[in-house]
Amino acid sequence: MARTVRVAVTGAAGQIGYALLPRLASGEVFGPDTRVELNLLEITPALPALEGVVMELQDCAFPLLDAVRTTDSAEEAFDGINWGLFVGSKPRGKGMERGDLIRENGPIFVGQGKALAKAADDVQVLVVGNPANTNCLIAKAHGVGGGIPAERFHAMMRLDQNRAMAQLALKAGTRVESVTNMTIWGNHSATQYPDAENAQIGGRPCTDVIGHIGWLQGEFIELIQQRGAAVIAARGLSSAASAANAALDHVRSMEGKTPDGEWFSAAVASDGSYGIEEGLVFSFPVRSSGGGNWSIVQDLEFSDFAKEKIQATEAELKEERDIVADLI
């Protein structure tokens, strides 16, 4: 018998929601033998617009889409869900850092963390709304308080990973799938550290293939750190298609088994690995054995340059945590 996966998407009438929902409903994430139910959460004034999105989902006639429910109640939206994609929150505008959104968006994740713990048990959560790591820290605090294990909460770093893989492939003049083991360390912010030292291209060290350490430690890192801002400057709106794509990649990676010797990037609750303070939602190299069981890849080695970058992004996450101390 086909299994059914129930997925909640918050902020479902927004830009990312529009790019995300048809692909979730198409079956491309959970596979052709899994039926999909969508629970869509929006703030009350956005419910009429959300009805238009629902009409479009119906009009796609997706064979695997069993149900679409809309609501402005988080508890209703999270009822019995297997995945929660927490997108709903305000995006930054030109000239802002993602962290500037923290006091405005942070409170959303208090209520949603609590509602999740009341409504669901066997659930995994991906926080996309910015600042994603610290919003996830808030949701985790309330989810764990209600009995959901901390390891079920993740924040999205996959867009940064995908951006880094694409730029390395362009530089090396090769295909993107030959870039593997691309770790983004730390925060989804301008302090993140895209780690070329441990990445590979065609199974060889990325540093050997690119052969230009100055570019890898300079232009490359800045390009990835500033890519979100560059998209906003060009589009007048933040990334949506690539963000939705990355969210789906994250879910697929967590649901599946990571190929031997490989890993992907995800922000998860630190267990103290690599000296990162326990509990911070920090991006690490992660492997999945399927069904939501993941572990942090251990024993990667770093130069002093990398160590400094990793410390800087950890320091920023501690500062963000202190700013929302009253919400945790």
Contact residues for ligand LMR, defined by CB under 6 A: 91-92, 98, 130, 159, 228-229, 231-232, 238-239, 243
Task: For residue 20, give the nearest of 31, 7, 5 by alpha carbon.
Answer: 7
Q: What is the CA radius of gyration of the chain?
A: 19
Least CB distance from residue 203 to ligand NAD, whole Å? 28
Alpha helical stretches, state H, 93-191: 102-119, 132-145, 158-172
Task: For residue 294, give the nearest of 124, 84, 137 by alpha carbon.
Answer: 124
- The listed partner (ligand NAD, ligand LMR, none) that binds 43, CB under 5 to 8 Å by sort, is ligand NAD
- The listed partner (ligand NAD, ligand LMR, none) that binds 126, CB under 5 to 8 Å by sort, is none
3-state SS assignment for residue 275: helix
Contacts of 295 (CB under 8 A, 6+ apart): 286, 287, 289
Binding site for ligand NAD (CB under 6 A): 10-11, 13-17, 41-43, 46, 87-92, 108, 128-130, 132, 156, 159, 188, 238-240, 243
Contacts of 271 (CB under 8 A, 6+ apart): 278, 296
User: Whose Cβ is closer to ligand NAD: residue 94's or residue 214's?
Assistant: 94
- The listed partner (ligand NAD, ligand LMR, none) that binds 41, CB under 5 to 8 Å by sort, is ligand NAD
Round to whole Å and give the CA distance between 139 and 13: 21
- The listed partner (ligand LMR, ligand NAD, none) that binds 128, CB under 5 to 8 Å by sort, is ligand NAD
Locus of tokens 């929302």: 324
Least CB distance from residue 98 to ligand LMR, whole Å? 5
Residue of 154, 188, 212, 250 marked active site:
188
Residues 43, 11: contact at Cβ < 8 Å? no
User: Whose Cβ is closer to ligand NAD: residue 124's or residue 130's?
Assistant: 130
3-state SS assignment for residue 91: coil
Helices 15-26/241-255 angle, 10° precision: 40
Least CB distance from residue 187 to ligand NAD, whole Å? 10
Residues 248, 168: contact at Cβ < 8 Å? no
Active site residue 142: no
User: Whose Cβ is closer to ligand NAD: residue 87's or residue 286's?
Assistant: 87
User: Whose Cβ is closer to ligand LMR: residue 234's or residue 325's?
Assistant: 234
Least CB distance from residue 250 to ligand NAD, whole Å? 10
User: Whose Cβ is closer to ligand NAD: residue 189's or residue 207's?
Assistant: 189
Active site residues: 188
